Homo-oligomer: A and B are copies of this chain.
């Protein structure tokens, strides 16, 4: 291991795969992402690769492109990962759940339940939702602005952590002889009375195996980074270039330090989409085929991400100067996602086609051989800017299989990645401490 550090990998499944052409390829089933058996298959592959976790992104409205693209995820992430918990042994389970349309008591309870059933493999990826269509499934109003969403998120996370902490580790007694089941004095109300939430508690689930299940945070705006710096164990972020990644890591670690947290307390795990081939040409050919199948869907997605009409973009011209210079036009949409692409476009004056050769949606795209990908991962890791990646195969299951069978062995041989799980919990996989909570300490 490089100075004791080790790589960490989430596997962001994204249904049929990251590439919008994925479902149409000859090496995928069109309805594969809707088939429980494929989910079992890809989870098993990831576990064979000793990856840290399966990660599920989320959205709370059906996409407008359902005529052309599979909905993703096709199932509620907590339900799907609870299902997979019963069919996997060691791999972590990270559902994304928005703080904007849930109650903290329900969320804390579900993640705690998943942590118990999986013997300590649960996490929660915190997002605030930036999709106006989602808001319309939860009331008549508009989506709240970013500031309000993050204020609610900050309080939401606090309530969830308080609920997870409401039972001491040693609250359970289980003495059949005396009839004492638990020590009620070691189970405390949370009595939270805040701006957005009033929650008396305690939680009706006992202390989770991990103490606190792992908290991921996935917002890239300054408000999102502040939330991560204060509360998260790990971030899932979009970092399209190494200079951008270094600046991001410095920013996040500086914020964490200002919250009194050690510099290494947050695992930085950007998305990394990839197209692998036995040779670079083979990989490029696979990418070209996928692009052919995706057609105009790619440009439409880029336009959506940038908050402009698709007509504004031209495949073979640099992005218009006014767009490069325009500050985020709204408080909705993903600010982090937009900035990632604009930063890349500004640095290198890229055309839309060139951008889409470097990112899928807003995540960095690697195209090449397993050897090249291992080099790339090692370079980023050794820069110190990242602790690993949330890998996003172009197509499932073939992409994750190629990663596990051809990239992971190289990283193992280089001493950068585990060959077997050493711990049983996600906290252990991620090298995060477990916070004890007991009468002896309080």
CB-CB < 8 A to A176: which residues of B?
23-26, 30
| A275 to B: closest C-beta gap in Å | 18
Asked whether, in the complex, the Cβ of A71 is within 8 Å of the Cβ of B204, the reply is yes
Asked whether, in the complex, the Cβ of A67 is within 8 Å of the Cβ of B180, the reply is yes
CA distance in complex: A23, B110 (Å) = 24
Asked whether, in the complex, the Cβ of A179 is within 8 Å of the Cβ of B76, the reply is no
CB of A62 within 8 A of chain B? yes
Given A75-B205, A204-B62, the answer on whether A103 and B105 have CB atoms closer than 8 Å is no
Q: Which residue of B lies closest to A185 (CB)?
A: B67
Given A66-B182, A75-B205, A116-B36, the answer on whether A198 and B82 have CB atoms closer than 8 Å is no
CB-CB < 8 A to A70: which residues of B?
181
Question: Can you list, as one digit per residue, whether each of A182-224 has a CB less than 8 Å from chain B (1) or not (0)?
Answer: 1110010000010001111111111000000000000000000
Asked whether, in the complex, the Cβ of A179 is within 8 Å of the Cβ of B83, the reply is no
CB-CB < 8 A to A60: which residues of B?
105, 204
For the residues of A in contact with B, the DSSP-based class is loop
Stretch at the interface among A135-143, A303-311, A390-398: A135-143
Given A83-B82, A103-B101, A109-B76, the answer on whether A69 and B181 have CB atoms closer than 8 Å is yes
Chain A interface category by residue count: 35 or more
Asked whether, in the complex, the Cβ of B59 is within 8 Å of the Cβ of A204, the reply is yes
CB of A133 within 8 A of chain B? yes
CB-CB < 8 A to A51: which residues of B?
none
Stretch at the interface among A84-92, A256-264, A356-364, A377-385: A84-92
Taking a contact as CB atoms closer than 8 A, the residue among B26, B102, B183, B205 that contacts A76 in the complex is B205
Q: Which residue of B lies closest to A86 (CB)?
A: B86
Q: Which residue of B lies closest to A58 (CB)?
A: B204
CB-CB < 8 A to A103: which residues of B?
101-102, 138
CA distance in complex: A140, B36 (Å) = 41
Number of identical monomers bound together in the oligomeric complex: 2
CA distance in complex: A116, B15 (Å) = 15
Asked whether, in the complex, the Cβ of A179 is within 8 Å of the Cβ of B59, the reply is no
CA distance in complex: A182, B65 (Å) = 9
CB of A78 within 8 A of chain B? yes
CA distance in complex: A172, B70 (Å) = 9
Asked whether, in the complex, the Cβ of B140 is within 8 Å of the Cβ of A198, the reply is yes
Asked whether, in the complex, the Cβ of A172 is within 8 Å of the Cβ of B31, the reply is yes
Which A residues, 104 to 149, have Cβ-Cβ distances below 8 Å to chain B? 105-106, 109-110, 113-114, 116-117, 119, 133, 136-140
Asked whether, in the complex, the Cβ of B23 is within 8 Å of the Cβ of A62, the reply is no
Question: Can you name 10 A-B residue pairings with CB atoms under 8 Å?
Answer: A34-B172, A60-B204, A61-B204, A62-B204, A67-B181, A74-B116, A78-B82, A82-B82, A84-B86, A138-B199
Chain A interface residues toward B at CB < 8 A: 23-26, 30-31, 34, 36, 40, 59-63, 66-71, 74-76, 78-80, 82-87, 101-103, 105-106, 109-110, 113-114, 116-117, 119, 133, 136-140, 172, 174-177, 179-184, 187, 193, 197-206, 293, 295
